Amino acid sequence: MATKRDYYDILGVSKGASADEIKKAFRRAAIEHHPDRGGDEAKFKEVNEAYEVLKDEAKRKRYDQFGHAGVGGNGGGSPFDGFGGYGGQGQNVNFDFGDLGLGDIFSSFFGGGQQTGAGRRAQRGRDVETRVEITFEQAVFGTEAELNLNIEDTCEHCKGTTVEPGHQLQTCDQCGGSGQVVNVTRTIFGNIQQASICPKCNGRGKVPEKACSVCHGKGTRVKSQRIMLKIPAGIDDGATIRLREHGEAIANGPKGDLYVNIRVKPHKKFTREGDLILSDEHIDMVEAALGTEIEVETVDGPVRMKVPAGTQSGSDFKLSGHGVPRLKGETRGAHIVTIIVETPKKLTKRQQELLQAFRAESTPKRKFWH
Ligand SMILES: [Zn+2]
Ligand SMILES: [Zn+2]
């Protein structure tokens, strides 16, 4: 909790900033840090998180009063929802795309997060989303990608227990070990008792005798992590790979999951439809009329293909087994070649004469004008 930056600092505005100033500051910062414009994704999320709170009058008020603890619970009522560390907030950043006009780019990217309901204690770290861009061929044949993340990892000193090594846990003095505190509210109907999670021990009933001296009792630390990700052959643009327990760490619980969104760069020559690879090949009208054999560029290299006599422009031919491998099974889709017949734009005198002679031999379909 202590490592979370102040929301006003993140947006670079003063505590007394107007709603309009906050909105302007958000726009500037979001554009600056937008990952699609080469910005830092972690910063981008931070900016969005800050704006999510400061644009909302009620949340901003709670934040001013209670700090991060007042707004961590996804809008929940308890000012203590946010306790339990950064990973315990169960809060999914809601991007305000209306303000940026970038909704289409990100709607699929950040859509997959899991939320912990407001007021419930999160028992695992937060899910993290990232993305990887690969080439057309890498998507077809599979590849390995290196991910570099800068996220909360388990504190190596206390192994995520929050306790300084050599020390014990002791019963929480705030809740007496029950993990709950009871608030009594007086109303005209009598006293209403409401139990909530003990903010001191986060519901565990125990607190460290001495907090870990490295993470100060948080159980986690921000660390840069390198993960090698195996991307299977046949993966398509927009697919998401989940790596279980590779997300953010949390004290006394498993890590969240890591979601990796795969972006496939467009290819100069090939397009893709499911397990089919599509491309065009150009031939001239004589080849189309007489038939020919051409070399077709495929992801496996050049492949020879017969074009029969009388081929019309726009005809499709299938090269079996040169398409995309199916994710399940050993088989591959086909490569579909569309033949484009080119009509010559310039003819030599001799070619003109030959074509006129050719025409004289043909059955006229329409009246000639010269
Ligand atoms: Zn520690
Ligand atoms: Zn307690």
Q: Give yes or no: residues 40 and 15 share one domain.
A: yes
Range of the domain at 95: 1-122
Asked whether residue 185 is domain-assigned, the answer is yes
Name the amino acid, one letter, at 95: F
Per-residue pLDDT tens over the stretch 278-320: 999 999 999 999 999 999 999 999 999 999 999 999 999 999 9
Closest ligand to C-alpha of residue 203 is 2
Closest ligand to C-alpha of residue 200 is 2
Element (H, E) at 285: helix 285-290
Q: Give yes or no: residues 179 and 46 share one domain.
A: no
Phi/psi at 145 (5° precision): -125, 145
Asked whether residue 183 is domain-assigned, the answer is yes
Domain with residue 225: its CATH number is: 2.60.260.20
Residue linked to tokens 């090949």: 281
Which of 122, 154, 185 terminates a domain? The answer is: 122
Closest listed residue to residue 51, CA positions, set 102, 1, 94: 94
Taking a C-beta distance cutoff of 8 angstroms, is the pair 200, 174 a contact? Answer: yes
Q: Give yes or no: residues 185 and 153 share one domain.
A: no
3-state secondary structure of 36: helix
Q: Is the pLDDT of residue 249 over 50?
A: yes
Asked whether residue 254 is domain-assigned, the answer is yes
Q: Give yes or no: residues 257 and 139 share one domain.
A: yes
Q: Give yes or no: residues 310 and 237 share one domain.
A: no
Q: Tokens representing 50?
A: 């800050």
Does this model's pTM top 0.95?
Answer: no
- For 139, other C-beta atoms within 10 Å of its C-beta total 25
Residues with Cβ within 8 Å of 109's Cβ and at least 6 positions away in sequence, in order, are: 129, 131, 261
CA 64 / ligand 2 centre spacing (Å) = 25
Q: Give yes or no: residues 5 and 54 share one domain.
A: yes
Sequence length of the chain is 370
Q: Give yes or no: residues 87 and 44 share one domain.
A: yes
Q: Give yes or no: residues 48 and 136 share one domain.
A: no
Percentage of the chain lying above the pLDDT 70 cut: 82
Q: Give yes or no: residues 116 and 128 share one domain.
A: no
From residue 157, alpha-carbon distances to 124, 153, 256, 318 in Å are 20, 12, 20, 61
pLDDT score of 35: 79
Provide the residues around ligand 2 (an ion) whose CB is within 5 A: 172, 174-175, 198, 200-201
Q: Is the pLDDT of residue 121 over 60?
A: no
| 8-state DSSP, 325 | B
Q: Give yes or no: residues 256 and 331 share one domain.
A: no
Asked whether residue 296 is domain-assigned, the answer is yes
Per-residue pLDDT tens over the stretch 72-98: 533 333 332 222 222 333 333 333 333
Q: Give yes or no: residues 138 and 105 share one domain.
A: no
Half-sphere exposure of 302 (CA within 13 A, CB side): 5
Name the amino acid, one letter, at 45: K
| 8-state DSSP, 211 | B
Closest ligand to C-alpha of residue 156 is 1
3-state secondary structure of 136: helix
Number of domains the chain is built from:
4
Q: Is the pLDDT of residue 63 over 50?
A: yes
Closest ligand to C-alpha of residue 199 is 2
Calpha distance 328→335 (Å, rounded): 19
- The contacts found for 95-99 with CB under 8 angstroms, 24 or more apart, are 95/48, 96/26, 96/48, 96/51, 96/52, 96/55, 99/23, 99/26, 99/27, 99/30
Closest ligand to C-alpha of residue 85 is 1
Asked whether residue 35 is domain-assigned, the answer is yes
Calpha distance 78→51 (Å, rounded): 20
Q: Tokens representing 363?
A: 């059955």
Rounded to an integer, the average pLDDT of 320-336 is 89
Q: What share of the chain is helix, strand, coil (3-state, %, to 5)?
A: 25, 30, 45
Mean pLDDT taken over the chain? 82
Q: Give yes or no: residues 55 and 138 share one domain.
A: no
Q: Tokens representing 75?
A: 């809008």
CA 201 / ligand 2 centre spacing (Å) = 4
pLDDT score of 365: 66
Asked whether residue 368 is domain-assigned, the answer is no
Asked whether residue 367 is domain-assigned, the answer is no
Taking a C-beta distance cutoff of 8 angstroms, is the pair 123, 245 a contact? Answer: no
Asked whether residue 87 is domain-assigned, the answer is yes
Lowest mean pLDDT among 79-83, 128-132, 238-242: 79-83
CA 40 / ligand 1 centre spacing (Å) = 27
